[in-house]
Structure 1
């Protein structure tokens, strides 16, 4: 690329001396560069008449190509700053994080980077993982990420999961449910493949139980309203449950000696985690999750 830059400068000045001064290199270095380029192309680019350089027809044609090539190269060098503003950053979040953190985190990110567009997906954790594996998204913010493929992961947050019921539920007063009494309760749960459901199913399987919910939904808000109406019990992460616990419309239930916790990760393809833009997105989610 340096050869082409020297060539284009000589095309402008038609002087070895002036080009050397402009590029802060020696005159012999300029002459050597032009000669080497002509040898590689096996054609002369300049006519040398009376110690003057004149761009010949070959040189004129080559100048057009060389200029475009140097321009393209410089644009590629600035790709991260310029073109990344035109290509949407594709971000996927699990539904729980989408409900709790996505709006605030993306608003914060767009305040910091107003010229960068984003395309967002909010689906269950398994669907988001599949999108990342298929290259359909660039960054996943999701609970629990298990795969045999090579990805970069960093922890965004972690918080407890627990059962909640309505205040009028007969378990609300004690705030405790014995493991052996789980089958006596109605449950309203997220769909299989969601992190909330997977954690609950893992717990019941450890206890040797098989719980069949009376209501299953991808919409956590539907489940919350069902619990408030005392239709059953559900599993919620602390950030989603806290407002309802504070207002008294839901009551936390503890399963003795069986705590549940979810860990939320930022996941990217190898190398992307090092990008300033990707790290900025992750930092916004970390800030909101605190």
Structure 2
């Protein structure tokens, strides 16, 4: 367990204020300053720079704050388990909207049968918020499809999912044997909101073809995969989604997968969790189970 100086520094890294830190911890402002200076001297690194009225956390300080946050979250979970070993277990995880359509329900069904959990909470959000919840401890793990800094988390790749362009079955592009990005630029593009992993993946895919969203005649932003599926089916534009999200609509003949000249893109879907999690063994087991469900 970490001593009080680390806890003080974590609060300071959050508030960016000696005054607010002192108020939250019910200690004096000089005591906060002394603890930070003592910690810097012991570690041999500068954690904070202060030029009135601006307090800045250094790069080393931000790395330490992230570490302290992870250690604190895991410590609290372990202590709670040790103090209340017979209490029914609770599990909370985040999932992105796209993965809530197919991957999260599979995992919840598995956890209901395989895990000793009296309460399972699934929070549907976007990639950025899901990762933030891991840092604060609001979620135990996350299912995400977006790009993330893999050095900051442990993770299991659970699937490589096709990321496909789709149009309505009677759309003009559906009649073409192959489709180029130039062809796509003639129609409205329906995309997810900023912060969504799907949006970022599509942005990188377009950039690789030297195309920006601004080149489309119209951009329609929708923060729900089901609504996007319906908009595409009614002919409102084109979109890019995970094939599993639209598999039923494709089988029903409502949607058509575009045969892009660049070929089909597959993207990793990940089960992500904090470094050194005491539940790492369980996460690895669940990741292995999800990999076995592919196809």
TM-score range relative to shorter protein: 0.5 to 0.7
Distance 1:228 1:115, change over 3 A: closer
Shift of 1:269: 1.2
Contact 2:271 2:283 in 1 (8 A): no
Shift of 1:192: 2.2
1:89 aligns with 2:108: no
| CA deviations over 1:15-63 (Å, ceiling 9, x no partner) | xxxxxxxxxxxxxxxxxxxxxxxxxxxxxxxxxxxxxxxxxxxxxxxxx
Structure 2 counterparts to residues 86-165 of structure 1, below 5 A: 86-147=88-149, 150-165=152-167
Alignment correspondent of 2:241? 236
Shift of 1:104: 2.8
Q: Distance in 2 between matches of 1:192 and 1:94?
A: 13
Q: Give ranges in structure 1 of 5+ residues lacking alignment.
A: 1-75
Partner-residue secondary structure (3-state), 2:173: coil
Contact 2:164 2:242 in 1 (8 A): yes
Return the index of the structure with the highest Cα Rg. 1
Distance 1:244 1:264, change over 3 A: same
Alignment correspondent of 1:189? 191
Partner-residue secondary structure (3-state), 2:179: coil
Q: CA RMSD in A?
A: 2.7
Aligned residues: 215
Distance 1:134 1:274, change over 3 A: closer
Contact 2:180 2:261 in 1 (8 A): yes
Contact 1:105 1:288 in 2 (8 A): no
Q: Distance in 2 between matches of 1:100 and 1:81?
A: 36
Contact 2:147 2:197 in 1 (8 A): no
| CA deviations over 1:244-264 (Å, ceiling 9, x no partner) | 211111001022125322101
Q: Distance in 1 between matches of 2:226 and 2:109?
A: 22
Contact 1:175 1:252 in 2 (8 A): no
Shift of 1:226: 0.6
Q: Choose from 264, 267, 271 the match for 2:272.
A: 267
